[in-house]
Structure 1
């Protein structure tokens, strides 16, 4: 191009110096254009690279988004599954709670029924003790006593009412009358049983033929039981004889009054051992 320009200027009769200057100027402009072109090409390359990177980043971002969406979908399915399982478990738990509540209510009802049966038994024994007190009003005052202890009626007859001092084999007439009163009452309550227990003070025995006071009180209890069974038609299956000697005093043996109170025969009257459990089992089976 410079040669072309030189030819033009030569044919136009332009001076060599002017021509040279012009050529130099154009060569400079041409070099500048080449630099601009290179810079533009470089920038285009950079832009293309950046664009490619952006496209790659967009592609990677899209891939990440796809993976995240897949994870979200999976989590939603898992959440739905867990929610369904939780609802099922909640229904099952509610059912079990309701069943346990029903069972607890039934047990509480049964327990209350048992308590009521025990209270009823106590009321019956209390009423029986009242019958004893009323019936024994005809017998000498101070020679008998009726107590209600732990659901059992206890009739206490003194030694003077039943036996002469030192005697174990024969009941006194007033004592026979008292035993007959008791036997007649027991005939009206066939479900009741009797433990006849002899007691004494801690003084030496009037009869040396016996081993100890224990034997003495047992012999007296046996005499009472034998009399009621043989002469008053008390069933032998309902009565038991025992002796406690001096080992269950009512009062201190330090005084004559206390010793007299301790010489006695007690009639411990109670329901059949099977009556209350049987009633309870009947209540529980309802």
Structure 2
């Protein structure tokens, strides 16, 4: 009975091993050697039984037959296991099919990513062209008074408070209208562009009188003053523009110094990202 238990355990181990990956081959070969050793031991027991059978009853003959059958099964299973492991691929047929489908999906995603990167590059090129046109139109104006840049795919035009307004006022200076006209000319040449005009202040509380209560109001009025000039004097469609006041709450630097306060007092024109145009750019290479 002990031999049967050992053989049963060995058989289960072999069946489980046959489902393992090829990296289990070495373990199976070790197990094969162990079973061969067991096989020899059983042969010795068989020989002893055969010797004893000459003077034993028919029970010994039955035991010999059982031992022979068990040994034959063990050897057959072991040989099958080794052959299966030698021929076994890294993956099964179903796994291979699944992986192939996954690879196809990955390939499609890679193609989509490449198209996306291409579209982003084209969009960045359009932004850079817009920036160059704006800088070319404005000319050699002091960078402290106007700054044009691209940040995270968005074009910004920052115009200093000193250039546009008197302190505490939202009336645009006459000289500043020339600069706004140059900006408007470039924007008019881009009919699909939409933009937001943002008013910004420093953190000094508004102390004027009249309808304005605080820096919120002042920043909004400055934004609407610029929008009206762009609409009324330079014919930019009102539907292309948005006026917004940000007050003192989105500074570009610290308000701890005079220079910092001056930098924070600004009007910012934000060229709004056109997502529908971006997706059109993305669809173009995909349709090829």
**TM-score tier after normalising by the smaller chain length:** 0.5 to 0.7
* Structure 2: unaligned runs, 5 residues or longer: 1-51
Q: 1:71 to 1:219 in 2, by over 3 A?
A: same
Partner of 2:160: 158
Q: CA RMSD in A?
A: 3.7
1:55, CA displacement in angstroms?
9.6
* Aligned equivalents of 1:161, 1:228: Cα separation in 2: 16
Maintained 8 Å contact 1:205/1:212: yes
2:214 pairs with 1:191:
no
Q: Which moved more, 1:240-249 or 1:130-139?
A: 130-139
- The whole-number CA distance in structure 1 between the counterparts of 2:100 and 2:274 is 39
Say if 1:61 and 1:165 are closer, same or farther in 2 by CA, change over 3 A: closer
Q: TM-score, normalised by structure 1?
A: 0.66
**Aligned pair in 2 of structure 1 residues 65, 159: CA closer, same or farther (>3 Å)?**
closer
Counterpart residue number, 2:24: none
**In the alignment, what sits opposite 2:208?**
207
Give yes or no for contact 2:197–2:270 (8 Å, CA) kept in 1. yes
Please list the CA deviations of residues 107-145 of structure 1 after superposition, one character each: whole Å capped at 9, or x if unmatched: 122112212322332232123222222221154664211
- Of structures 1 and 2, the larger Rg is shown by 1
Contact 1:196 1:221 in 2 (8 A): yes
Number of aligned positions between the proteins? 235
Cα pair distance change 1:238/1:56, threshold 3 Å: same
TM-score (normalised: structure 2):
0.65
In structure 2, relative to structure 1, the CA distance for the partners of 1:70 and 1:143 (3 Å cut) is closer
By how many angstroms is 1:221 displaced?
Answer: 0.1
Matches within 5 A, 1:44-193: 56=58, 60=62, 64=66, 90-137=92-139, 139=141, 142-168=144-170, 170-193=171-194
